[in-house]
Chains A and B, each alone.
Chain A
C-alpha cells in the first residue's frame, strides 16, 4: 500500500496524514496542495513530511505547502516548529542556502519612463550585479569586515554606504539577526564568503525588472505602496558559498550530535541536536550569521540597482522613490511565539522553502504594514509572473504563520536540458516582450519555465486556503540570470 493512501482530505486543497499512521509520529502531517496536484504529489515528499513529524518536540503539524517537493531530509516547501523545552534544531530543516530570500523595490516609474531604455537597463543591471557560477563580488573584504557582515547584516551594508537607513525598517528582522556570532563561523565559510559578497549566484536566482500587472486587493496594495502599472525590481538570492559552507559544517556536527544524544532518525539528513545542547546553540548562531550575510548581499544589490537606474534614467533614486517594499527569508529557522492548543508557546520554526506570512497585529511586522499583515513575496521562474500576497490570521492559526515560497521544480535539470532549447526560450520570451540576459545557455535551459510547477497555481492555493491573500501580480519585463 502506498503512503499516499493514508492521506485524508480536510477541506478543499488541504490534506492530512494522521499521527496514528506510524508509532514514531509525534504530530500529524498536513499538506496545502491543489486538489488537482494531489495525484502528482511525490511519495518521497510525503515520506519526508512523516519523517519530520517523528522528530523530538515537533508541534501540531509537519506542514507541506503548495510548492512542496522532495528535498534532502526535510522536503522543500515545508514548515516544522519545535518546542524550546524538548525540541531540536536541524540544518537540513533550513537548507544549504541559508536566508535565500526575495526583495522587492518599488519606484514611481511607469512603462513610458523606461520603455525606450529597457535594453540598456537590462545590459547595465547585468553588468553591475555580478552573477553566474564562479562570480565574484565587486568589492573585496578583509577578514575583519567579513566578521562585521556576519554580525551586522544589512546594518553593515547601510553603514558602509549601500542603501538608505530607512531600508532597514522594511526587511524581515530589520536585516540583522542579533543571535549571530561570527566567532563561531568557520574560516572556510568566511573564505568562501569574502569573494562572493555582492553577487547573485546561479540556478534559480534572478534579478528582474517587473511591472505591477494586476491588483487584487486595492486597500492592502495601497498600504504596501503598490499600484497598477508601477515599475518594480525583484531580487532573489541568498548567502552564497558562505551559507552553503555553514550548512555543510553543521551537517557534519549534527551527524555526530544525533548519535551522541541518541535521537532516532529515519534519514541521516535529518541530523539534529536538542535545543539546549551546545551543538544546537552554535548552529543557531552560525545560521543567523549566514542570514545576515544574505541580507547584506541583497542590500548591496539594492544599492547597485538604484545606481544603475540613476545612470540610465538620469534621475536620482530618491526622486524615483525607489524604496524597498519588503524583504523575506524563505530558508531559515526562527524563535517565534505561536498559539499551541490555546497556549502561547515559544517555538523554533523551521522554514525550508517557505515564506513567513504573519497576519495583522504581529509586532514583527513593520509598523506601517502591521494593520494588514506582512508582505509575502513569491517569485516566479524565468519569464513567469511573481506575486505579492499578505500574511493572514489563518496562517497564524494553521501554519505557524507561513506560506509557499515559489514555483517548485518538477523536471530535473538534465531533463530540462534535453527538453528545451535556449534560443527558443529566449525567442519565446522576446515575443512576450521579456528581455533576458544570462551568463550561459545552460542556465536558460535548466531554468526553463516548463521545468517548474505553475506558480499561478501555487499562489492560488495559498490564497484559497487562506494561508496568505493575493495582493498584486508582477509581470517581468527583463530578467538577469546567473
Chain B
C-alpha cells in the first residue's frame, strides 16, 4: 500500500494536547484519529489485534459525530480495559457510524504506559473536507 500522506500529528494546547488526523475520506480520517488517541495513551505499535469490538452511533452533524466516536473509543478503553490499534470505520447517510475496533486487554508490563485522557472536548473541534479530509480535536488530559 502506498501512503503518501501523514496519518496524524499532534499540536500544542495550553494544558492538554491537540490532534489532527488525515484521510482520503471521513472514514480514513476517523480511523487515523483513533490511532492518534491510542498513541497518546500508549504506543499502538505494541498493541496486538486480538479482540474486536463493534459499535454504532448516530449524531446530528460531522463534528458531533467525531466527538461521539472519540468518546466511544475512550469508553471501550476504560470499560473493557483494552488498548486498540486497528480501526475500521464506515459512515453512512444521516451521520451514522459503524466501527470495528481491534486491540487487546491492557497489560502494563508489556504495553507502554503514557497518559490518561480524561475526555474529548469540543474546543476547536473541526472536520474539514476538501480533496482530502482533516479532522481536529483537543483532548483533556
Check if A412 sits within 8 Å of B14, measured CB to CB.
yes
In the assembled complex, the Cα of A198 lies from the Cα of B67 at a distance in Å of 28
Check if A248 sits within 8 Å of B115, measured CB to CB.
no
Check if A442 sits within 8 Å of B81, measured CB to CB.
no
A18-34 vs B, Cβ < 8 Å mask (1 yes, 0 no): 00000000000000000
Chain A nearest CB, measured from B60 CB (Å): 8
* Residues from chain B with Cβ under 8 Å of A124 in the complex: none
Check if B79 sits within 8 Å of A413, measured CB to CB.
no
Residue from B112, B113, B140 within 8 A of A96 (CB atoms)? B140
User: Which segment, of B20-28, B85-93, B119-127, faces chain A?
Assistant: B119-127
* Residues from chain A with Cβ under 8 Å of B121 in the complex: 72, 269
Task: Please count the residue pairs between chain A and chain B whose beta carbons lie under 8 angstroms apart in the complex.
Answer: 101
Check if B122 sits within 8 Å of A72, measured CB to CB.
yes
**Most chain B beta-carbon contacts within 10 A, residue among A42, A96, A196, A203:** A203
Check if A412 sits within 8 Å of B114, measured CB to CB.
no
* Residues from chain B with Cβ under 8 Å of A4 in the complex: none
Check if A72 sits within 8 Å of B12, measured CB to CB.
no
**For residues 71 through 95 of chain B, which have their beta carbon under 8 Å from a beta carbon of chain A?**
71, 74-75, 77-79, 81, 83
* Residues from chain A with Cβ under 8 Å of B81 in the complex: 134, 136, 195
Check if B78 sits within 8 Å of A192, measured CB to CB.
yes
A413-426 vs B, Cβ < 8 Å mask (1 yes, 0 no): 11100000000000
Chain A nearest CB, measured from B126 CB (Å): 12
Check if A414 sits within 8 Å of B116, measured CB to CB.
no
In the assembled complex, the Cα of A72 lies from the Cα of B18 at a distance in Å of 13
Check if B14 sits within 8 Å of A134, measured CB to CB.
no
**For residues 52 through 78 of chain B, which have their beta carbon under 8 Å from a beta carbon of chain A?**
64, 67-68, 71, 74-75, 77-78
Check if A70 sits within 8 Å of B14, measured CB to CB.
yes
**Most chain A beta-carbon contacts within 10 A, residue among B41, B112, B115, B121:** B115
Interface residues on B, range: 20 to 34
Check if A195 sits within 8 Å of B10, measured CB to CB.
no
Check if B79 sits within 8 Å of A192, measured CB to CB.
yes
In the assembled complex, the Cα of A42 lies from the Cα of B12 at a distance in Å of 15
- The answer to whether residues A195 and B141 also contact, given A251-B122, A413-B15 and a CB cut-off of 8 A, is no
Check if A414 sits within 8 Å of B115, measured CB to CB.
no
Whether, in the assembled complex, A327 has its beta carbon less than 8 Å from a beta carbon of chain B, the answer is no
User: Which segment, of A154-162, A209-217, A239-247, faces chain B?
Assistant: A239-247
**Beyond A188-B75, A412-B12: 17 further Cβ-contacts under 8 Å?**
A69-B14, A69-B15, A72-B121, A96-B118, A132-B113, A134-B81, A134-B83, A136-B81, A191-B75, A201-B116, A203-B141, A241-B74, A252-B68, A413-B15, A415-B12, A442-B115, A443-B115
Interface residues of A (CB under 8 A from B): 42, 44, 69-70, 72-73, 76, 96-97, 132-134, 136, 188, 191-192, 195-196, 201-203, 241, 244-245, 247-248, 251-252, 255, 268-269, 409, 412-415, 439-440, 442-443, 446, 482
- Subset of 19 A-B contacts with CB under 8 Å: A44-B14, A72-B123, A72-B140, A73-B123, A133-B41, A134-B81, A134-B106, A188-B75, A192-B75, A195-B81, A202-B116, A245-B75, A269-B122, A412-B13, A412-B16, A413-B15, A413-B16, A414-B17, A415-B12
